[in-house]
Amino acid sequence: MALIFRNRPGLVAYVTCGDPDISTTKDVVLAAAQAGADVIELGVPFSDPVADGPVIQAASQRALDGGTQLNDVLRLAREVREQSDVGLIVFSYLNPIVRFGLARFCAAAADAGVDGALVTDLPIEEAGEYIEQMRARSLATVFLAAPTSPDERLKRIAEMSSGFVYAVSRTGVTGARNDISEDARELVGRIRRYTKLPVAVGFGVSTAEQFATVGDFADAVVVGSAIVKTVESAGKERAADAVADFVRGLRGATAGAK
CB 144 within 8 A of CB 164: no
Note whether residue 155 is domain-resident: yes
Note whether residue 40 is domain-resident: yes
Note whether residue 30 is domain-resident: yes
CB 251 within 8 A of CB 9: no
pLDDT per residue as tens digits for the range 80-111: 999 999 999 999 999 999 999 999 999 999 99
Note whether residue 3 is domain-resident: no
Q: Which residues are catalytic?
A: 41, 52
The pLDDT score that the predictor gives to residue 255 is 45
Note whether residue 152 is domain-resident: yes
Note whether residue 60 is domain-resident: yes
pLDDT per residue as tens digits for the range 109-162: 999 999 999 999 999 999 999 999 999 999 999 999 999 999 999 999 999 999
CB 28 within 8 A of CB 229: no
Name the pLDDT band for 170 (thresholds 50, 70, 90). low
Note whether residue 128 is domain-resident: yes
Provide the domain limits for residue 88: 10-251
pLDDT per residue as tens digits for the range 218-237: 999 999 999 999 999 999 99
Look at residues 184, 173, 245 and name the one whose alpha carbon lies nearest to residue 217: 184
- Non-local CB neighbours of 104 within 8 Å, separated by 6+ positions: none
Interior CA angle at 38 toward 36 and 39, to 5°?
130
- The total of structural domains in the chain comes to 1
Domain CATH number, residue 66: 3.20.20.70
